[in-house]
Amino acid sequence: MSNNFLVSLSFDAASPLWGKGALLSFSEAQATIHLDKQKSLFTQVQMAARKLESMSVQAIKLVGEHWDCELRWAFSQGLFDPKKGALLNFGDVDELQLQTLTSRKLIVEWVRNTINLGPEALSPEMLCEKAASLIKHISADEKQLSYKIISGEQLLEHEFHGIYQVGRGSVRPGAMLQLDFNPTYDDNAPVEYALIGKGITFDSGGYSLKPSGGMATMKSDMGGAATIAGALALAIVNGLQKRVKLYLCCAENLVSGDAFKLGDVITYKNGVTAEILNTDAEGRLVLADGLLAAQDDNPAKIIDAATLTGAAKMAVGRDYNCVLSMDDQFVEVATQAAKLQNEMLWRLPFEPFHRQQISSPFADIANIHSGDGMAGASTATAFLANFVKTPEKNWLHFDLSGSYQPGPNQLWSAGAKGHGVMTLSEIILA
């Protein structure tokens, strides 16, 4: 006898007994989701899963017709609980579909659970190790994979001054993961994609100290690193045959006698100098090192992902992720990938003139814009552009405004959402 609570789909309206336009109806140990064809089926199924999760239903099995792979995935996303994941039997599916769903669930839940870890449980070096272990675990052949972690004083030896300076206020040193996935087994094979992720495992704001309310969710400031590592892992599972390199730029941004300060000037490996006007604008400082390291390998395309600015959240809320780029064709690839994967992505402006808005009298650039009325997400991208050889083409910057939910809503539990993993993975595979 099954202990599963059964969930089916119907395109018939629910009985008025359950309320006008009810999404759910119930019969003993079974629920029916009543879908409206005029609305997003994916969204309706995810919302229904959230309602069932809030009722503390323990073990669910999907039954009946109308379920396809994407609707099963939508249900899994909504059912996720940060304490126990998503306890779900996908139902009667063929082997290929089950493999697809199981892989997604494994990797996206790894992303969500990693972001949800408290800062004491995840140092910069630990984040690097966790990401490398995930990709090693899912790789069919370990000979396709090599990696190294550069940390502490070694960062200075490699001239990764941004990560070092941001991380020096903590007793747990900053670190960079450099991972090479090379299914060609040819050391001279070209690098098709360089992926760079921001991994600030806790962000106090440094001497530009955040208030407690703003700091409470800052365990999630490594969301870019976890998301882009998960995207690479999912692409590998789905048959990636391109050489891809991953760079995670990880640090804790804390306050101490050793912490970097306002007025400091960082000199980067490419000679660019950056004045620090706000220690809470640290993500761009560490990403700069990753961008410079990536370009040593002359990748065909570059993607970075970061929970970079509050300005992006002000623009689109936490429902959308944002993409910024001057390469219209590459943006279109990203936009179509997001649509295909039922994720929400919005383009924010980035133009050459934004690069003139981060001037400094003491360095080549400042780490925040000067003056009022400037676009924060755009000027943050402008900072990064100083570390990309050809920022006009083949570079996408993702500001992951939709990666974390401080409290539950109709679609998501509190905490990390994994939103962006599917889009990034689809781009890499394209």
- Model pLDDT, residue 1: 44
| Residue burial 45-67, b: 16+ Cβ < 10 Å; e: rest | bbbbbbebbeeebeebbbeeeeb
Are 238 and 362 in a shared domain?
yes
Q: Which long-range contacts (CB under 8 A, 24 or more apart) does 411-414 make?
A: 411/43, 411/46, 411/47, 411/50, 411/77, 411/78, 412/50, 412/77, 412/78, 413/50, 413/53, 413/80, 413/81, 413/82, 414/82
> Distance from CA of residue 38 to its chain's centroid?
31
Are 215 and 355 in a shared domain?
yes
Q: Looking at the domain assignment, is residue 98 inside a domain?
A: no
Are 82 and 133 in a shared domain?
no
Angstrom distance (rounded) from CA 197 to CA 311: 19
Are 164 and 17 in a shared domain?
no
Question: If DSSP codes are grouped into helix, strand and coil, which group holds residue 10?
Answer: strand
Are 76 and 155 in a shared domain?
no
Angstrom distance (rounded) from CA 223 to CA 237: 21
Angstrom distance (rounded) from CA 423 to CA 322: 12
Are 169 and 268 in a shared domain?
yes
Are 177 and 316 in a shared domain?
yes
Tokens matching residue 45: 């199924």
| DSSP state string for 340-400 | HTT--EEEPP--GGGGGGS--SSSSEESS--SSS--HHHHHHHHHHTT-S-TTSSEEEEE-
CATH of the domain at 189: 3.40.630.10
**Among the listed residues 116, 216, 154, 101, the one whose alpha carbon sits nearest the alpha carbon of residue 418:** 116
- Model pLDDT, residue 28: 87
- Model pLDDT, residue 373: 75
Are 311 and 398 in a shared domain?
yes
Question: If DSSP codes are grouped into helix, strand and coil, which group holds residue 39?
Answer: coil
- Model pLDDT, residue 370: 80
Q: Which of 93, 128, 158 is the last residue of a domain?
A: 93
Can you give the residue range of the structural domain that contains 325?
118-429
Q: Looking at the domain assignment, is residue 299 inside a domain?
A: yes
Q: Looking at the domain assignment, is residue 100 inside a domain?
A: no
Q: Looking at the domain assignment, is residue 122 inside a domain?
A: yes
Q: Looking at the domain assignment, is residue 103 inside a domain?
A: no
Are 60 and 160 in a shared domain?
no
Q: What is the pLDDT of residues 194-244, one digit of tens each?
A: 999 999 999 999 999 999 999 999 999 999 999 999 999 999 999 999 999
Are 64 and 129 in a shared domain?
no
Catalytic residue among 104, 198, 284, 355: 284
Contact status, residue 298 vs residue 361, Cβ threshold 8 Å: no
Angstrom distance (rounded) from CA 192 to CA 430: 11
Tokens matching residue 323: 């993409």
| Positions of the chain with pLDDT lower than 50, given as ranges | 1
Q: Looking at the domain assignment, is residue 281 inside a domain?
A: yes
Catalytic residue among 210, 269, 347, 393: 210
Are 144 and 77 in a shared domain?
no
Q: Looking at the domain assignment, is residue 128 inside a domain?
A: yes
Q: Looking at the domain assignment, is residue 113 inside a domain?
A: no
Tally of domains within the chain: 2
Question: Known catalytic residue: 210?
Answer: yes
Q: What are the start-end ranges of the E strands in 260-336? A: 265-267, 273-275, 301-306, 321-324
Question: Known catalytic residue: 284?
Answer: yes
Are 221 and 311 in a shared domain?
yes
